[in-house]
Amino acid sequence: MNTSVHTAMPVAVAGQSIPVRAILPWAVFGLIVSALLIYFVGAEQGATSLISGHAVHEFVHDGRHLLGFPCH
């Protein structure tokens, strides 16, 4: 059996690690975007509404029910 196919791969591909400093800004960005999405799906209604009208509420209405937020 010829195993030269497996040994021809570069060694560096196998075990590269990503430093935490490179991931941290993207993790913070992801948390902020996630918090905004959760806010607009779950709390953008009534007294906590930032945008007047029902457009945002109606747009995320199915997601609101899917995630179990109280609605109507």
By CB under 5 A, name the binding residues for Zn ion: 71-72
Nearer to Zn ion (CB atom), residue 15 or residue 53: 53
Nearer to Zn ion (CB atom), residue 25 or residue 70: 70
Interatomic CA distance for residues 21 and 26, integer angstroms = 10
What residue number has its CB nearest to Zn ion? Answer: 71
**Residue 64 Cβ vs Zn ion, minimum distance, rounded to whole Å:** 6
**Residue 68 Cβ vs Zn ion, minimum distance, rounded to whole Å:** 11
